[in-house]
């Protein structure tokens, strides 16, 4: 079927059909321009300063989005809404947070790999093939180098 025929049968534009054919999965929405917050842009520097100062304070004494909104309104003359302040603070706190995934290595599981390395033996540089075996639970490892990558190498 042609793209024109598909568009006609499903009642969608030919551009939409072309996108569907170009991607195996829908690409999703992509923002074309950065987010503009005309009422908030003048106060972003102040919000960032408060959030930077909060890093040195105990957790219970840090600013919440609501408290930042109240201070902006009362001290700085901010006339915007709470939602744009809340969204900005959430974005700033999320980007500043360090993330990690804890590793878990059950006992009895191992990792093995083969590779090549340049080694110096008797003053001459040559390629050696190696086998590396690792037990991450106990941090034990075993590495052995061979002159060739064959089953007969001892």
Residues 6+ apart with CB under 8 A from 84: 37, 39, 40
The CA distance from 136 to 108, in Å, is: 9
Statement: residue 72 has pLDDT above 90: yes
Q: Do 80 and 87 contact (CB within 8 A), yes or no?
A: no
Q: Which residue has the higher pLDDT, 132 or 24?
A: 132
Which pTM value belongs to this model? Answer: 0.47
pLDDT of residue 41: 92
Statement: residue 139 has pLDDT above 90: no
CA neighbor of 47 nearest in space, from 81, 80, 92, 77: 92
CA neighbor of 153 nearest in space, from 125, 124, 123, 116: 116
**27-51 average pLDDT score:** 88
**36-61 average pLDDT score:** 92
């Amino acid at each position: 079927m042609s793209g024109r025929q598909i568009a006609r049968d499903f009642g969608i534009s030919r551009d939409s059909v072309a996108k569907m054919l170009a991607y195996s999965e829908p690409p999703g929405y992509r923002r074309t321009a950065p987010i503009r917050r005309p009422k908030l842009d003048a106060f972003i520097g102040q919000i960032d300063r408060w959030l930077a100062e909060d890093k040195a304070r105990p957790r219970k004494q840090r600013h919440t989005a609501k408290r930042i909104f109240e201070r902006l309104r009362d001290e700085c003359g901010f006339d915007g809404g709470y939602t744009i302040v809340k969204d900005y603070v959430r974005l700033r706190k999320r980007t500043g947070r360090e993330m990690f995934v804890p590793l878990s290595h059950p006992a009895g599981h191992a990792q093995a790999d083969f590779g090549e390395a340049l080694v110096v033996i008797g003053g001459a540089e040559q390629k050696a093939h190696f086998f590396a075996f690792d037990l991450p639970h106990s941090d034990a490892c075993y590495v052995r180098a061979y002159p060739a990558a064959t089953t007969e190498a001892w």
